[in-house]
Amino acid sequence: MPNESGRAYGLTALCPIKLSDAKHSYASLTRAYLQQLQESSSDDKSPMARVPNTYLCRFFVLNNVNYQGKPAVLDSLKSPYLVFIGELFGDRDTYLRGMWDHAEAFIRQAWQHCVGFDGVDSRDYFASYIERCQVETTLYFNGSTDDPLAEQLKALYMKQEFSKFAFASSGKSPHELQRDFKEFVERTRPSDLTGPTWRPGAATLANVVVDDGNEKR
């Protein structure tokens, strides 16, 4: 089944970028925007970290296809493309609508030089725009489980915290251990997906925990 792996969805969209005119290379402007984003925002400040159920995503500008050398035939794209690759939980349209709700400003910036994007001004329109630009993700391999993101983040958090607990508890008496574990469960709230949990987008252990919206270091 293309695009899907269980409840995980592999979205690939190639959005044509306008050809250069007298004044600008729109492909270069798009690339420059994406690259400064990478520079200016640490992982968890990525605008896509706010989008619900994003496992992983990637943006790049595709100028052309590669030439494989003789005897291959030279192919050329009719325009450069903004490529958006998203690995996400759930169905595509729910995700894209959520993306618009949580990252509209980013979307408007990143897609502003794409062909046909001028009129895109709502969550539904954005979802249908991306659908038109979608290409099938064949042989989709999902690198994690297909659980909702919140569950995965909580699991990551629990794994991290429990390993700390295990090291800290080494050599303790059963009584102490039971007391501390109770305290551990109360603090970490294993069945509460809202927090404390792993921060979406965080790729390092620094500043990673979200506790009901209050940050802990």
Partner 1 sequence: MMRPDPDVALDLHDIQGNIIKAYNREEYVTARYVLYEVKDGAAGRAFLGKLLPYVTTAAPWSRESETRDANPKPDVTLNIGFTFEGLEAMELPSASLLTFPEEFVSGMLARREILGDDGKSAPEHWDPVWRKAIHMLVFLNGPGRPHEAVLAEHYDKLAALAAEFEPSVVCLDGHRGADGTSLAYQGASALYDKNGGITSKEHFGYSDGISNPFFKGTGANPNNVVGGGKVTRESSDTVEGWEPLETGEFLLGYKDEAYEYPEAPKPPLLGRNGTYMVFRKLHENVGSFEDYLEEAGREFDGGKEALAAKFVGRWRNGAPLATFPTAEAADGVAKRWNDAYIRLEKAKAGSDEAELRAASEQYAAVRRELVAFDYDKDLAGGRCPVGAHVRRVNPRGSLEFGRTGAFATRGALTNRRRILRRGLPYGATPEPKSDGGEHGNIVMMMGASIRRQFEFVQQQWINYGNDFKLGNDKDPLLGNHSDGPDSIDGRMTIESEPGSHKAPFLCSGIPRFVETRGGGYFFIPSMTALRMISDAIVDPT
Minimum separation from the CB atom of position 38 to partner 1 (A)? 7
Q: To 10 degrees, what angle do helices 123-133 and 92-110 make?
A: 90
Q: Tokens 């046909």 label which residue?
A: 116
Name the residue with tokens 């994690």: 144
Residues in the chain: 217
Toward partner 1, which CB reaches closer, 33 or 181? 33
Backbone angles phi, psi at 17, to 5 degrees: -95, 140
Instruction: For the CB of residue 36, give the shortest distance to partner 1 in the complex, in Å.
Output: 8
26 neighbors 16 (Cβ within 8 angstroms): no
User: Whose CA is closest to 144, among 53, 206, 29, 35?
Assistant: 53
Q: Name which of 19 and 135 has its Cβ closer to partner 1.
A: 19
d(CA 37, CA 103): 13
Q: How far is the CB of 82 from partner 1 (least distance, A)?
A: 15
Q: Which residues bind partner 1 (CB under 8 A)?
A: 19-25, 27-28, 31-32, 35-36, 38-39, 63, 67, 69-71, 73-76, 80
CB of 60 to partner 1, least distance (A): 10
* Of residues 22 and 139, the one with the C-beta less far from partner 1: 22
Q: Provide the greatest CA pair distance for the chain.
A: 77
For partner 1, the closer of residues 35 and 178 by Cβ is: 35
Nearer to partner 1, 1 or 72 (CB): 72
Smallest Cα–Cα separation from 147: which of 3, 44, 52, 6? 6
Nearer to partner 1 by C-beta: 73 or 205? 73
Determine how many CB atoms are found less than 10 A away from the CB of residue 49: 18
CB of 73 to partner 1, least distance (A): 6
Q: Report in angstroms how near the CB of residue 88 gets to partner 1 at its nearest.
A: 26
